Amino acid sequence: MQNITRITGGALIAAIGLSGAAFSQTSNSRVDASTDWAVFVEDSPSKMCWVVSAPTKIENSKKGVSRGEIQLMVTYRPGSANAEVAFTGGYPFKRDSTVKMKIGESVYDLYVDGEWAWPAPGGDDAEIRESMKAGATALLTGESSRGTVTKDTFSLNGFTAALAAAEKNCS
């Protein structure tokens, strides 16, 4: 069931025609953006809070690669016991592949669906969030459907405070 929620969350953003970054940029619901992480709160169509960041470093194994918005985010929904970690790489991922997320010495597998990747249902969301709070950077390595390997580095500066603000706004 959690996997359906994750896919529906990505589908919701896709259905309204906005990627995570574009949704963030067009939303007038930003409540904080004082660090590398921005906090957003939406009340309609249903309450949702999220923190989002863009990469500080982007590497592609092939030259001239065009990618859409690249975002790492954590989403809260009232009544949900678990905040969901999600990543969009700005391209369709290779089918049946995983995105590797490395924070410090910890490595996590994110499972792909189109341009989105999430931890396995019932998986590592809480552990990943704790690693993100303690870490300095997160490195996400994925492979596109065309065979391009990408490495996106995200700063975790301000993540803990941003996450606390999102949780407070959606509790």
Q: Tens digits of per-residue pLDDT, 130-144?
A: 999 999 999 999 999
**Reported confidence tier of residue 76, pLDDT bands at 50, 70, 90:** confident
CATH of domain 2-169: 2.60.40.1880
pLDDT at 81: 64
Question: Between 67 and 7, where is the model more confident?
Answer: 67
Q: Percent of the chain, pLDDT > 70?
A: 78
How many CB atoms are closer than 10 A to CB 139? 17
pLDDT at 101 over 50: yes
User: What's residue 169's pLDDT?
Assistant: 84
Average pLDDT of the residues of the chain: 82
Q: State yes or no: pLDDT of 4 exceeds 50.
A: no
